[in-house]
Structure 1
């Protein structure tokens, strides 16, 4: 997919170890490395926010896209506070694997429209899935795949 020519960093932030697990899953499925910062029960949300800010400052020629686990959570709020006013940073809340892969699928930096499209695409994959039982068990094998 097409984005602009600026490089992009994706940084995952979460409560407990969700961001680390998501980063590992993204690497396994998509092959991309993403940075992860986790707020553990004995950790400091202020230190997490500071680390994310320092990473963005260390890469002034790249867009930093921060994906937080939950809108309104302490991790997201701290990042919003610490990253306020930084032109090369975007923050997205509501981490999911389809969202992260969608953001990574676009080359280069992301416009707001690119991010909104990735969010919509991720929403479309969030559905209640039901398995229906076939009347004839012999048909069930053929219909399953």
Structure 2
């Protein structure tokens, strides 16, 4: 199974990890690595250790980052030079993580998971409006 790491600025990774567990339960071979103000040097070691551990256990890994060009993305991309079995996806959102992690199986590659996650992330973004009588209704107990 492809290992997965979510990372980003502040508590981005911890928040997504918490939401993922609330919806889908605990996930195997999944880890959140937050980037706080400890500096890029300390973070570089944390993300490197996490990625290497995941690759050692699983053979490959996808790192889900918050945005292109930030420290979490840059540090993750630097690892791909020496670890070609690592894929990096930026612009991570909850639909992407849910679909990606729930679709993993032993035949899926890191490249395949990254592509699936990217498409799921795009599909999960929507701008919706409620019109007419439906706008006047109170939401149900489940929030929908």
Contact preservation (8 Å) 2:65, 2:90: yes
Runs of 4+ in 1 over 3 A off after TM superposition: none
CA 1:19/1:87 → structure 2, altered by over 3 Å: closer, same or farther? same
The Cα RMSD (Å) is 2.4
Structure 2: 5+ residue runs without aligned partners? 139-143
Of 58, 66, 90, which aligns to 2:87?
Answer: 90
Contact preservation (8 Å) 1:70, 1:93: yes
CA 1:74/1:111 → structure 2, altered by over 3 Å: closer, same or farther? closer
Distance, in Å, in 2 between the alignment partners of 1:111 and 1:77 is: 19
TM-score by length of 2: 0.78
How many residue pairs match? The answer is: 133
Q: Shift of residue 16 of structure 1? A: 0.6
Q: Shift of residue 56 of structure 1? A: 2.6
Structure 1: 5+ residue runs without aligned partners? 1-6
Name 1:37's counterpart in structure 2. 33
TM-score by length of 1: 0.78
Distance, in Å, in 1 between the alignment partners of 2:113 and 2:33 is: 24
